[in-house]
Amino acid sequence: MPHDEIKQALKELHLSDKEIEVYLALLLRGTQGAMSIAKQARLNRITVYHLLDALMDKGLVSHVIKSGVKYFQAADPRAIHRMIKEKEERFAKVLPMLEKMKESVLEHPRVEVYDGKEGLKSIMDDWINTGKDIVGIGSEELDAIIGFYFPHHIMRRVKAGIRIRLLFGKSRYAQEMKRKDKRELRETKMLDCGKLTTGVYAYGNKVSFLTFVKEEPRGLIIEDASIVNTVKTMLELLWTTTR
């Protein structure tokens, strides 16, 4: 393993650069006195004593006394790994309690707002990442605004096995979409209404709204059980009453 990678791994154990230098000096050269460590780590002796105390508190260094002189040695790396596993096991035991504490608090709805074409793409990426089937009201304006990304998104959705049911205003575009339903894992129904410029999409525990105004397209994602359930109920009612 490269030296830099070793240092980075030790930093993730919340060690400072100087603590890492002292630990590695001991690991590479075995049991040593503070003066020898200071020379190898290029630090003054007082600083090294403070660092050694900190490392001993963390269980990474121990000491022995020989003929009245204190010598220090690095903990076996396997012992460090064992300590990490013990911490993980302790956390795993309290994790269910922490989750119950979180569930006991009434959470506020989570709302994220996205602007521009890239914002709309981010919302559509979230549909894929959530991995749940989608029901919604679509608009041909989405295709017109994001262009090439739209067929690419459909391919990703199909590959992920995510089905979508969409209601469109009656149009040639909607009829063309319906012809491709089977291969694009989609069900399309047409509403007896004019062109729609806002889409609503419910998926998993989220609902997203996309406004397809070319000058300033915008979208938002709402994550809230009550709101999402209400929107889903409305969409399902509309779906079942539309031929």
Domains of the chain: 3-74 (1.10.10.10), 110-240 (3.30.870.10)
Q: CB atoms < 10 A from the CB of 187, how many? A: 14
State the first-to-last Cα distance of the chain, in angstroms, to the nearest integer. Answer: 64
What is the distance between the alpha carbons of residues 121 and 127, in angstroms, rounded to a whole number?
Answer: 10
What is the chain's percent helix, strand, coil content, to nearest 5?
A: 50, 20, 25
In the prediction, which pLDDT does 179 show? 95
Amino acid letter, 242: T
In the prediction, which pLDDT does 180 show? 95
Is residue 5 helix, strand or coil?
A: helix
In the prediction, which pLDDT does 57 show? 85
The owner of tokens 């359930």 is 229
Residue 241's φ and ψ, nearest 5 degrees, are: -95, 0
What is the distance between the alpha carbons of residues 12 and 230, in angstroms, rounded to a whole number?
Answer: 44
In the prediction, which pLDDT does 106 show? 55
DSSP 50-106: HHHHHHHHTTSEEEEEETTEEEEEEPPHHHHHHHHHHHHHHHHHHHHHHHHHHHTS-
In the prediction, which pLDDT does 1 show? 46
Q: Which residues contact 202 (CB under 8 A, 6 or more apart)?
A: 134, 135, 136, 228, 231, 232, 235
* Tens of each residue's pLDDT in the chain, 243 residues: 457 788 888 888 788 888 888 888 888 888 888 888 888 878 888 888 898 888 888 888 888 888 888 888 888 888 788 888 888 888 899 888 888 777 665 567 789 999 988 899 999 999 999 999 999 999 888 888 888 889 999 999 999 999 999 999 888 989 999 999 999 999 999 998 877 888 999 999 999 999 877 678 899 999 988 899 999 999 999 999 987
Task: Note if the pTM is more than 0.85.
Answer: no
Q: CB atoms < 10 A from the CB of 94, how many? A: 10
What is the distance between the alpha carbons of residues 126 and 61, in angstroms, rounded to a whole number?
Answer: 47
Amino acid letter, 212: F
